[in-house]
């Protein structure tokens, strides 16, 4: 029923007209930059949207009654669905600057022929910007950044939003991490109903001991690669990178779930989600390969869990990039260490509470 509500809410957002709100939100997903010769290359993804508070309240009230939610669960649900219900803005040109830049240099995305690139019907635009080494060092000084992070800010008309970019040197240690059941308890093997409740209705819970492990790699750059839809970017980053949890911030690479139901791409995307078991496998594999290829001289540690197909993804990465991958850690949530040990062969096993289908620890 909840999946039905989310689909209907997306259609409603696309086909109805609500009270317009002047300011449009720009989401910059945490990004990384890599050196190519004397230039920093920064691949970016941005999302432009307007909130739809009327639909948000209506859907929340409906689901509250269906699922008999208490006040806390209702507020959690409302906050988690806001990005699904938001109106994706088409043909928006996003202009942004680096905070603290006295020159106020404006950046935007351009095609190869020099045309300005704008958002698609799902409010998304992927693009790349570049900075010289000298310019990047200047911006890091101006922002008093000692950890390689830079902040950007949207300055285009009626746009607001900030983003973060991590400039990662060619040599050093990097960690690629999954999210669900690796750093956050989702209980994926328990089944869809429990996963939906943990995702939409319940407070997030960090997996025991993982933040301490990540803090041990204090000189590493982090990339979080997840099958979680990008609509959860804000609640996830606010949770994981809050000082109470202590996970190191890193670039975010999530599933691109479309929600504009006037777009053919959305229907193809939903079909992939519903019938293609390889969808998340292919998404994660592609994103991990992009990272590994951007940093051929860095050493990598890969961390995930055994609840889905990540051990298979990581094994393939070990085969393809043996010189780069130093170690693989798998948090074993399905007790493969006893029942299917060959699946985790050659990987460092992190014992964990076994998740059973149909049963939740909460």
Q: From residue 102, how far is each of 97, 106, 339 by CA, in Å?
A: 10, 11, 60
Residues 159 and 183 in one domain: no
Boundary-marking domain end, from 141, 167, 193: 167
Boundary-marking domain end, from 117, 148, 167: 167
* Structural domains of the chain, count: 2
Which residue range is the domain that position 40 belongs to? 2-167
Q: Is residue 263 within 8 Å of 122, Cβ to Cβ?
A: yes
Provide the 3-class DSSP secondary structure of residue 128: strand
Token pair of 315 as six digits: 């094994």
With respect to residue 189, please indicate whether it lies within any of the assigned structural domains.
yes
Residues 207 and 285 in one domain: yes
Residues 176 and 158 in one domain: no
pLDDT of residue 264: 55
Query: In this structure, what CATH number is given to the domain that contains residue 214?
Result: 3.40.50.1000
pLDDT of residue 271: 46
With respect to residue 293, please indicate whether it lies within any of the assigned structural domains.
yes
Residues 161 and 178 in one domain: no
Provide the 3-class DSSP secondary structure of residue 26: strand
With respect to residue 327, please indicate whether it lies within any of the assigned structural domains.
yes
Token pair of 138 as six digits: 């200047």
With respect to residue 359, please indicate whether it lies within any of the assigned structural domains.
no
Write out the E strands in 210-308: 221-229, 251-255, 298-305
Residues 144 and 219 in one domain: no
pLDDT of residue 15: 42
Q: From residue 52, how far is each of 19, 81, 199 by CA, in Å?
A: 8, 11, 21
pLDDT of residue 115: 82
Residues 154 and 181 in one domain: no
Rounded CA separation 65/201 (Å): 13
Residues 110-117: contacts with CB under 8 Å, at least 24 apart: 117/93
Residues 91 and 209 in one domain: no
Q: Is residue 171 within 8 Å of 295, Cβ to Cβ?
A: no
Residues 92 and 214 in one domain: no
How does pLDDT run along the chain (362 residues), one tens digit per residue? Answer: 554 444 444 444 444 444 445 899 999 999 999 999 999 999 999 999 999 999 999 999 999 999 999 999 999 999 999 999 999 999 999 999 999 999 999 999 988 778 889 999 999 999 999 999 999 999 999 999 999 999 999 999 999 999 999 999 999 999 999 999 999 999 999 998 899 999 999 999 999 999 999 999 999 999 999 999 999 999 999 999 999 999 999 999 999 876 554 455 554 554 445 445 677 899 999 999 999 999 999 999 999 999 999 999 999 999 999 999 999 999 999 999 999 999 999 999 999 999 999 999 99
pLDDT of residue 114: 81
For residue 33, the surrounding DSSP H or E stretch is: strand 31-36
Token pair of 202 as six digits: 């319940």
pLDDT of residue 265: 58
């Amino acid at each position: 029923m909840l999946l039905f509500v989310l689909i209907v809410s997306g259609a409603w957002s696309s086909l109805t007209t609500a009270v317009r709100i002047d300011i449009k939100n720009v989401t910059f997903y945490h990004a990384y930059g890599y050196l190519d010769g004397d230039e920093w290359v920064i691949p970016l993804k941005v999302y432009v949207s307007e909130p739809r508070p009327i639909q948000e309240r209506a859907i929340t009230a409906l689901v509250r009654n269906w699922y008999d939610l208490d006040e806390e669960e209702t507020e959690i649900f409302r906050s988690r669905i806001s990005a699904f219900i938001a109106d994706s803005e088409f043909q928006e040109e996003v202009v942004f600057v680096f905070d603290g830049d006295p020159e106020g240099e404006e950046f935007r995305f351009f095609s190869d022929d020099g045309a300005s690139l704008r958002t698609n019907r799902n409010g998304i635009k992927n693009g790349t910007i570049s900075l010289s080494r000298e310019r990047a060092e200047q911006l890091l000084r101006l922002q008093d950044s000692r950890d390689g992070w830079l902040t950007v800010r949207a300055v285009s008309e009626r746009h607001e939003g900030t983003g973060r970019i991590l400039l990662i040197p060619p040599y050093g240690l990097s960690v690629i991490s999954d999210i669900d059941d690796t750093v956050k308890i989702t209980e994926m093997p328990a089944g869809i109903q429990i996963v939906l409740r943990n995702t939409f209705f319940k407070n997030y819970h960090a997996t025991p001991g993982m933040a301490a492990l990540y803090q041990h790699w204090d000189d590493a750059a982090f990339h979080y690669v997840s099958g979680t839809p990008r609509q959860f970017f804000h609640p996830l980053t606010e949770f994981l990178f809050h000082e109470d949890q202590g996970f190191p911030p890193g670039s975010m690479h999530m599933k691109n779930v479309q929600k504009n139901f006037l777009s053919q791409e959305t229907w193809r995307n939903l079909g992939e989600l519903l019938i293609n078991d390889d969808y998340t496998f292919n998404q994660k594999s592609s994103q991990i390969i992009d990272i590994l290829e951007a940093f051929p001289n860095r050493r990598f540690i890969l961390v995930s869990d055994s609840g889905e197909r990540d051990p298979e993804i990581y094994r393939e990465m070990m085969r393809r990039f043996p010189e780069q991958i130093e170690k693989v850690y798998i948090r074993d949530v399905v007790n493969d260490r006893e029942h299917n040990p060959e699946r985790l062969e050659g990987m460092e096993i992190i014992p964990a509470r076994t998740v059973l289908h149909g049963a939740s620890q909460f």
